[in-house]
Each structure stands twice: as structure tokens, then as C-alpha cells.
Amino acid sequence: MSLMSLDHRVLENLYKSEIKDVLSIAIYARDTGDWDAIRDCFHSDAKLTTSWFTGTVEEFIAGSKKMKIIRHEGESQKHVITNPWVRLNKDRAIAEYDLVLYQRRIIDDLEFDFTTWSRSVAILEQRENRWKICDRTNIYEKDRMEPCQPESIPSSFYDSMDLDIFPKAIRYHCWRNARVGHDPAPNLVLKNSPEEKLVRDTAESWLSSS
């Protein structure tokens, strides 16, 4: 192996490590409410698409702050990322990772645990020697809702849940969000959908045009 090829691999691994740090910090900062840290992970013109939101970083922060305000005592959430895959082309990168959201929510004085699985596709660019996110889209796969104390849930509670208006794959996730005023985003992306293909095709085109 030549020295040049070794140097190239070392630099590539350094960039990938920096990118993974940015992805992890952005997720951790979202859960802890460190809004300045979130800003530092995204370019100022970045866009995001989640189950409840599509727009700019500042708009995302504003919406996330409202979500934290309306949370009851005893509620919590944690995003966990795993299986990252980073690909580079000069000063551009695509990064994918599995994202699992765990939430404890209190609804009508009843406790539930929610789990949502998705795959995130992030587009990143190195500007002024810093890797930051330009665009990030969550591709939703499935969800789960579990009562913390099943015996305490009256059957009338489930009868009152109107789930048919939400995407079947993540109906509990969307129903929960709608309870606090966050209806599904109009461009919510589901696994194996035409929208997922568009997200991936757009990312590939962007990466190859560097």
C-alpha cells in the first residue's frame, strides 16, 4: 500500500468519524433541549423532514420547544441511532442510520410506552472545514404502543382511538402526536413508498454531482 493511499484512507476515516459525531450530537441535543448544539450541527439553510414537521432548522427548534413545554411530569423520550453508513465524495456526504424513538407518555392520566423505528437519510457538506447537515429526512418503518399497566386501561379508551386517519405503519406514533397538536407532516415518508425512492434518488444525485 502506498503512503498516498494510506493518507487518503486516514483522512476518509477522519471525515466519517466527524460526520457520525455530528449526527449523534444532533439527536442527543434534540432529546435534551440543547438548541444551540442543534444549530451547530446544521448549516443555516438546512431542511428537515420528520413525522410531524418539514421546514428549516429554526422552525424545527421552535416546534420542538413547544413539544417540551406541553410534556407532563413523568414523560420522557430518547432517540437511539445505530448502523450508520457514510459515503463521501469530496466535500459532500450521505449518511444513513437506524433511528429508534422511545417515549413514555401520559394520556388521560394513563401511562403508555411508544416505540418508533425509522431510517434517517442525511445529506452533509463540508464548509469552512466543518461537516454539517444540509438536509435530513426520516423514513418511517413501524411503531408500537404498550400500556405500562394493562389492567388499568378501560376498553372505552381504545374504542375512542380513531387510527384510520393515520398511516397504518406508524398510526400510534401519529395519533400520539396529534393529541398535542402535531398532525402528520404532508410529506411524511414511509418505507417502500415512492417518496422514499425520491429521497434516496435525490441524495444520490446530489452526492454524485460534487
Cα 155 to Cα 54: distance, rounded to the nearest angstrom: 35
Cα 132 to Cα 124: distance, rounded to the nearest angstrom: 5
Residue 70 has pLDDT above 80, yes or no: no
Residue 3 has pLDDT above 70, yes or no: no
Predicted structure pTM score: 0.92
Separation in Å, CA 71 to CA 152, 178, 179? 21, 14, 12
Cα 81 to Cα 87: distance, rounded to the nearest angstrom: 17
Copy the grid coordinates of residue 202.
435525490
Position 40 confidence tier, pLDDT thresholds 50, 70, 90: very high
Lowest-confidence pick of 55-59, 69-73, 175-179: 69-73
Cα 152 to Cα 149: distance, rounded to the nearest angstrom: 6
Over residues 94-151, the pLDDT tens digits come to 999 999 999 999 999 999 999 999 999 999 999 999 999 999 999 999 999 999 999 9
- The average confidence (pLDDT) of the chain is 93
The DSSP code sequence of 3-34 is HHHHHHHHHHHHHHHHHHHHHHHHHHHHHHT-
Residue 1 has pLDDT above 80, yes or no: no
Over residues 170-181, the pLDDT tens digits come to 999 999 999 888
Read off the pLDDT of each residue in 157-162 and give the average, rounded to a whole number. Answer: 92
